[in-house]
Amino acid sequence: MLQDKIQDVFNEPGCATNQAKSAKEKKKGCTKSLKPGAAAGGCAYDGAMIVLQPIADAAHLVHGPIACLGNSWDNRGSQSSGPQLYRTGFTTDLSELDVIGGGEKKLYRAIKEIVQQYDPPAVFVYQTCVPAMTGDDIAAVCKFATQKLGKPVIPVDAPGFVGSKNLGNKLAGEALLEHVIGTVEPEYTTPTDVCIIGEYNLAGELWLVKPLLDEIGIRLLSCISGDGRYNEVAQAHRARVTMMVCSQALVNVGRKMQERYGIPYFEGSFYGVSDMSDTLRTMARMLVERGADKSLIDRAEGVIAREESRVWRRLEPYKPRFEGKRVLLFTGGVKSWSMVSALEGAGLTILGTSTKKSTKEDKERIKKMKGDEFHQWDDLKPRDIYKMLADDQADIMMSGGRSQFISLKAKVPWLDINQERHHAYAGYDGIVNLCEEIDKTLSNPIWRQVRQPAPWESGPSSTLLAAE
Ligand code: SF4
């Protein structure tokens, strides 16, 4: 069954990259085999946790050896405005005896204990490699527990060995479609109800966007899954429009919600001034097309005009400080283009951007914005990045945490813009936060100090002079 689901996910008609492939290539799937010795990134289970763990009032139980939970623990700063149960790590902590005797009973006991002690609205159970190989049937245990305990217990069948983090994202989406979305009816609905998919409220980013939606009169019925509540996610089928924040990861959810419930979806971004405005505009327009009052568009335009003029005023002081500063952008997906426009607006020069995780549309968009000359690196190797930085071709590198050491080794400022970041960069205020962080990083005196030769490198006389 899992095999069928994976094949189905790989056949995603909503994914442009997949559609461009031949039948033979489609069969192979999207996962590239890893090179021995290369950093692998998260496994499928890790990807599933990324999508679902921000549902803050649910319990998240990892069925496997304790290291599966430990390895991925707390590496993303998804925030909650209320319940904190998602911050408690639950695991069945399988041992050798469970490998021999099976872990299903232990899993049921763990679910029961969680329900009795914490009374969450639901329990998500994550399959991992070891019990998947020994044959524990988590779907059957979850079904039994749901009946016995009277709570939704949702199996998330994405053991690490089936593929990458990205595949895990999609399998988590499938679990939501199969067991959660459509199971709860909202108390009331409005013509401006929206569902946002793929926004995880990292460092509280959703809170920079939601007040604007409230002001325009757009109701966030459901967010999958930042600052999420189980019942809100379960009500997502009543949204009038769906927004996909990162289309590659959860495109299957948006497309299937359109098929099942007739909810149109669009791909948008909250990063960068113009993209933020485009997103609000598109959301308002699509809601009006689906029956919302036309005044929604005027209210959206009013908020956009006010916020844009406010943000440009706040960015003005950074422009002279950023003049001539060159950025090496090493990210992917939507961020590969939305960050480019955001940073250029603040006066920075972008050397190029990596497009390894970007779709064909993302790449086309960059080409349209920047022309053919702009560097788009599909597979930039760490040693090439190091060379660029060591040759002083960039003043700062912006990337995820995994690439930070290349930059630090080359003694070049580095800023985290991926999921482990501690600052919120979404929305209009987010771009100001980003510029503030870039400015602090660029002007940090540590870079001047680490670039100076060490005392033992500058000869005995200079050491003596320094001592005097
Ligand atoms: S690859 Fe398997 S064993 Fe490793 S963390 Fe992922 S689920 Fe656990």
The per-residue pLDDT string of the chain (468 residues; one tens digit each, 9 = 90 and over) reads 777 777 777 666 666 665 666 666 665 555 555 555 555 568 899 999 999 999 999 999 999 999 999 877 777 789 999 999 999 999 999 999 999 999 999 999 999 999 999 999 999 999 999 999 999 999 999 999 999 999 999 999 999 999 888 889 999 999 999 999 999 999 999 999 999 999 999 999 999 999 999 999 999 999 999 999 999 999 999 999 999 986 667 889 999 999 999 999 998 889 888 889 999 999 999 999 999 999 999 999 999 999 999 999 999 999 999 999 999 888 766 566 667 777 887 889 988 877 766 666 667 777 777 777 777 777 778 888 899 999 989 999 998 887 889 999 999 999 988 777 889 999 999 999 999 999 999 999 999 899 888 888 776 655 555 555
Domains detected in the chain: 31-179 (3.40.50.1980), 193-314 (3.40.50.12380), 318-451 (3.40.50.12380)
The response to whether residue 128 sits with its C-beta less than 6 Å from ligand 1 reads yes
Backbone phi, then psi, for 221, in 5-degree steps? -70, -40
The response to whether residue 159 sits with its C-beta less than 6 Å from ligand 1 reads yes
The DSSP secondary-structure symbol of 43 reads B
Q: Using alpha carbons, select from 175, 70, 65 the residue that is nearest to residue 124.
A: 175
CA of 71 to the centre of ligand 1 (A): 8
Q: Name every residue whose Cβ is closer than 8 Å to that of residue 263 and which is 6 or more positions away in sequence.
A: 195, 237, 239, 240, 241, 242, 257
Query: Is the preceding peptide bond at 78 cis, omega within 30 degrees of 0?
Result: no
Q: Are strands 123-127 and 90-91 parallel, antiparallel or unpaired?
A: unpaired
- Which atom of ligand 1 is closest in space to residue 71's alpha carbon? 5
CA of 129 to the centre of ligand 1 (A): 6
Q: Tell me, what's the pLDDT at 247? A: 60
Cα(195)–Cα(226) distance, integer angstroms: 11
CA of 158 to the centre of ligand 1 (A): 10
Cα(305)–Cα(302) distance, integer angstroms: 5
Q: Tell me, what's the pLDDT at 7? A: 73
Q: Which helix (H) or strand (E) holds 153?
A: strand 153-156
CA of 50 to the centre of ligand 1 (A): 14
The response to whether residue 45 sits with its C-beta less than 6 Å from ligand 1 reads yes
CA of 156 to the centre of ligand 1 (A): 14
Task: Quote the longest CA-to-CA distance of the chain.
Answer: 80
Token pair listed for 375: 């560097």
Beta strands in 272-421 (DSSP E): 326-330, 349-354, 375-377, 396-399, 414-416
Cα(30)–Cα(460) distance, integer angstroms: 58
Q: Tell me, what's the pLDDT at 42? A: 80
- Which atom of ligand 1 is closest in space to residue 159's alpha carbon? 7
Cα-based distances in Å from 157 to 48, 66, 126, 377 = 9, 17, 6, 34
Q: Probe ligand 1: pick from 134, 161, 165, max atoms within 8 Å of CB?
A: 161
Q: Which helix (H) or strand (E) holds 91?
A: strand 90-91
273 touches 342 (CB < 8 A): yes
